Amino acid sequence: MAAPTTPAEIGGIGHSVQRKEDARLIEGQGNFLDDIELPGTLHMAILRSPLAHARINGIDSSAATAIDGVLAVVTGELMDQHGLAWMPTLSGDTQAVLATDKVRYQGQEVAAVIATDPYIATDALEHIEVDYEELPPITTPQQSLEEGAALIRDEKEGQTDNVAYTWETGDQGATEEAFAQADRVVTLETHYPRSHPAPLETCGIVADVNSVTGQATIYMTSQAPHAHRTLFAMVAGLPEQNIRIVSPDIGGGFGNKVPIYPGYVVATAASLLIGQPVKWVESRTENLISTGFARDYYMKGELAVTDEGRILGLRVDMLSDQGAFFSDAQPTQFRAGLFHVVTGSYDFPAAHINCKGAFTNKAPGGVAYRCSFRITEASYLIERLVQNAAYEVGIDPAEMRLKNFIQPEQFPYETATGFVYDSGDYPTALRTAMDEVGYEDLRREQAEARAEGRLIGIGIAHFTEAVGAGPSRTYDIAGLKMIDSAELRVHPTGKAILKLGVKTQGQGHETTFAQIVAEVLGIPANDIKVEHGDTDHTPYGLGTYASRSTPVGGAATAVVARKLADKSKKIAAHLLEAADEDIELASGVFSVAGSPDRSVTIQDVALAAYTNLPEGMEYGLEDVTYYDPPNLTYPYGSYIVVVEVDPDTGVWEVQRMVALDDCGVRINPMIVEGQICGGLTEGFAMSAMQWITFDDDGNCIGANFMDYLVPTAWETPRFELLATEVPSPHHPIGAKGVGESATVGSPAAFVNAVIDALAHLGVRNIDMPVLPDRVWAAIDAAS
């Protein structure tokens, strides 16, 4: 990794400075949603359906309304009277706020109680009587698409089946030609199961709508407060200038806090109607059964391969389980997210990707959980598929990858599905990881262990991610272009304040974004205050999710800092009585080229910006930038996992995990390493334990942390982290900067390791998570 160019006292890019935000959070001084208490606050609890699919014949709330302390019971019928029974989703669908006709998944919102006390509100839910007429539930997308399947979205005009969307890309004709030329076709059918981001803090809102002034101040757990303000204005009919959304400290998001949930709308409407603040904080079970699921992709991939192991083409058919409403926060033009990055790091002459989504009687899914839009699923499929191809052709999985990688001299490289990768050196990355783990020796040890009856597996995954959405010509959500912003003001004393359109949920923005400014202007990072999450006090932006905050918001920060650097050079030239073009800036010092003793500091320039300017120059030292990225960025990595499988029990244990990531310039290496470890832990969790299932009646199995297993420090293996030596020259402030790509390749690496341990038994297919009973069953079946 490149050495820092600024001294430690400035703390620019490359310095592992301690996070500014940690002190107050560790000392209990954070300000989270549940900490907010406004005078006269009322409390809301939501009644949720116990059934996955049922007609609502009637709701009797009289007993609940009669309880002392209950001010109102809100039903779908009441919301409908105000035109708020349905709301638009981020994917262009509509979603019920409170069910009026029928419920479409277990946990769907049916009614809400507004009371003076949260316990009264919760207790009153038991006194609401709902007359349900149970309907047959549909729990898989395959059932949903069967002939004669019950219509889930029967309220939608023109909807005659359960198809949520169809989408395809690539060249079908060229792909068919490639398969016709192949010596063999390698096929893999797999399911990336439904999971939940499970942030430490659940979702919530405090809505304070002044019925006299029309001013709405809404505190909410939002990863995208500006976008949410715009959508609130559209849904509630409130003037946008009268809406202020404040997203306080957030205890983790991972995509779960991007959608607008019905509880937000109901609380806001109740505050408007009653004239008092209304607070709603969901329980853990509510969070797990009803908010933003991820994954749930059924994938069939086919590789056209020669007998020498050369890949000629790729065909993919993907079927996604969208739940009852299509509410993914996906770019509008890409109905399956960026799943078409499924060609991965390989030089495919041809590819054709066919995607379809289906409605089911489950909660809506599809959030960008610890990755860009659906890229984890794509990476998982291609890496499992290439691994299987290596077994069938009879060559080493590492050799198979090296034989088919895009080569460094081919960049910039346009994939068969339309992405333009900027740069990369995939062979060096994989070989570096192989050298670190001692790959050749491991293969020898594996062979010796097998002779002794021990099952050692070596799993490989190499991924290329597409992050930093995105260029306005292609990327929008609900019509909002995916640009982002930064506003920078340098005060007369040389201190600064940076205001961002993106919103942190633990990524360290208050530290890393200050380091970007420090790098450009030389103002010490500790002298730069960073603000975010308040729509009244920050510039418009699309928020933090899908690994986009640093590539887009960070780039905006770098650009606005450079604008102020250009103006500062003119002021410095005035102070030094030199020509503008002769001024050089390094580590906060402006000097005259060839005369370094003639210099002024950034602090001198900041004061002059308000007191002593060249004639005709506008006073002040501040600006705002809206950044429209010219392309996505394409970080990549090579992961190698070594596991041992107990042939008697199926239990597998990780022996080593080596992860090499190329994520561009690392703004703060310490924070990057922390983010990578977090992502690897989530990748391990997905391969080992973290999944949510449903029984035949649509009951969610995974409604608490006893059933939905999240790894602790006890289960999580040790990670060995590597980095590329030379960052991408195309992205001077970093392709990602916070290392969130780490979850992308790790599930495939872990699963490939288990499959590799069983490869000599002929085992090719074990879906995630790789639980001991599945492994033991595979061993038993193979032998």
Indicate which residues carry an active-site annotation: 223, 370-371, 740
Give, to the nearest 10 degrees, the angle between helix 602-611 and helix 555-576: 80
126: its two tokens: 């038991």
What is residue 320's DSSP assignment?
Answer: E
Quickly count: other Cβ atoms within 10 Å of residue 661's Cβ: 30
Quickly count: other Cβ atoms within 10 Å of residue 764's Cβ: 18
3-state percent breakdown (helix, strand, coil) of the chain, nearest 5:
30, 25, 45
DSSP lists the bridge partners of residue 302 as 187, 315
Residue 442 vs residues 436, 466, 655, 746, 759: alpha-carbon distances, Å: 11, 32, 11, 19, 15
CB 462 within 8 A of CB 638: yes
Of the candidates 244, 238, 262, the one whose C-alpha atom is nearest the C-alpha of residue 111 is 262
Residue given tokens 């992502």 in the structure block: 679
Q: Which helix or strand (DSSP H or E) is residue 218 part of?
A: strand 216-220
Encoded amino acid at 486, one letter: A
Of the candidates 185, 175, 184, the one whose C-alpha atom is nearest the C-alpha of residue 349 is 175
DSSP lists the bridge partners of residue 294 as 195
Contacts of 74 (CB under 8 A, 6+ apart): 98, 111, 112, 113, 114, 266, 269, 270
Pairing relationship of beta strands 94-96 and 86-88 according to DSSP bridges: antiparallel
Residue 306 vs residues 344, 396, 400, 461: alpha-carbon distances, Å: 19, 15, 11, 21
532: its two tokens: 């975010």
Q: What is the DSSP string of 235-249?
A: HH---GGGEEEE--B
Contacts of 42 (CB under 8 A, 6+ apart): 71, 114, 115, 116, 270, 271, 274, 276, 277, 278, 279
Tell me the C-alpha distance between 544 and 513, whole Å. 13
Sign of the C-alpha dihedral computed for residues 135, 140, 143 and 144 taken in this order: positive
Quickly count: other Cβ atoms within 10 Å of residue 705's Cβ: 12
Tell me the C-alpha distance between 541 and 253, whole Å. 17
Tell me the C-alpha distance between 688 and 693, whole Å. 14
Of the candidates 725, 91, 683, 673, the one whose C-alpha atom is nearest the C-alpha of residue 364 is 91
Taking the CA atoms of residue 494, residue 498, residue 504 and residue 510 in that order, the dihedral angle to the nearest 10 degrees is 0
Count of CA atoms in the C-beta half-sphere (13 A) of 658: 19
Of the candidates 393, 378, 188, the one whose C-alpha atom is nearest the C-alpha of residue 311 is 393
Quickly count: other Cβ atoms within 10 Å of residue 451's Cβ: 7
Give, to the nearest 10 degrees, the angle between helix 555-576 and helix 509-521: 30
Tell me the C-alpha distance between 488 and 516, whole Å. 12
Encoded amino acid at 80, one letter: D
